[in-house]
Amino acid sequence: MDVAAIIDNLPLYFKGLGITLSLVSGALVCGMVLAIPIGLLASVRNPLIWALPKAYIYLFTGTPLLVQMYIIYYGTGQFEALRESFLWPVLKEAYWCALIAFALNTAAYTAEILRGAIEQTYYGEIEAARSVGMSKATIYRRIILPSAFRRALPAYGNEVIFMLHGSALAGIITIVDLFGAARIVNSRYFVPFESFITAGFFYLCVTFLIVWGFKLWEKRWHAHLRPRDTDAAQKVGKLPVSKPG
């Protein structure tokens, strides 16, 4: 075990961690902004409306993220017209190419999660909302979306973790993210085990924080689904104490 090589390069790993975190959070924010309208439109029962968003979801969930990233990074560089366009300053940078690919990809998955959650809305709730005279927009705003977001939360937590893990692909197109840092350390010292297990450890820590964060979030949003705190209720005498057995 070559521990010294890892310790000497910890600053490189932390720099890589910073790039990974900024890529993932940037992609998640952009992806969410895209996913809400796409998911909403995909859930509407009118083929003219759902066709396009569903095609988008199908396209981006049906192809590997690596392929999407290669098309955006190496593919765009092939066209002279693109290279001379106003888009090039963005597409020239590997970082932005990765961010675009990740955002488009996670947008598709998130939209699909949202679509499913919206379609699961209990019809009685909508009927009730209609019966008190809410407009369509109000029903979406007050009834459908809040409950859909709640239902989507656990699946979205998984998507965030998948995005973190998928972001390792950025290391392939010259970005020095966590995985890129590990590859540099490996190439300098020929220590694949030590260098990649260190990167794995960093990913594990971030995953842990994400899981923990979502647990807190769910606790808040799913408070109404939790079993009542019987101990506390018994103490103040609101619930009868049942004997075990």
Partner 1 sequence: MKRLTLAILSAALVLVSGAAIAKEWKIVRIGVEGAYPPFSSVTTSGELVGFDIDITKALCKEMQVKCSMVQQDWDGIIPALLARKYDAIIASMSITEKRKKKVAFSDKYYNTPAKFARKKGSGIEISKEGLKGKTVGVQRATTHDEFITGEFDDTATIKRYGTQDEAYLDAVAGRVDLLLADSVAMDDGFLKTDKGKDWEFVGPDYTDPKYFGIGVGIAIRKQDTDLVEMFNKAIAGIRTKGTYAKINAKYFDFDVYGD
Does 192 contact partner 1 by CB under 8 A?
yes
d(CA 129, CA 27): 35
Q: Report the length, in residues, of the chain.
A: 245
Does 184 contact partner 1 by CB under 8 A?
yes
Strand ranges for 58-130 from DSSP E: none
Question: First CA to last CA across the chain, in angstroms?
Answer: 56
- Give the Cα-Cα-Cα angle 10, 13, 15 (nearest 5 degrees): 110
Does 200 contact partner 1 by CB under 8 A?
no
Residue 214 CB, shortest distance to partner 1, in Å, is 34
Does 26 contact partner 1 by CB under 8 A?
no
Q: Could you tell me which residues come within 8 angstroms of residue 121 by beta carbon, excluding any fewer than 6 positions away?
A: 143, 144, 147, 148
The structure tokens listed for 82 are 């693109």
Residue closer to partner 1 by CB (options 109, 179) is 179
Does 71 contact partner 1 by CB under 8 A?
no
Does 89 contact partner 1 by CB under 8 A?
no
Select the span of 23-31, 115-123, 129-137, 182-190 touching partner 1 (CB under 8 A).
Answer: 182-190
Residues of this chain that bind partner 1 (CB under 8 A): 74, 76-78, 83, 88, 92-94, 172, 174, 183-184, 186-188, 190, 192
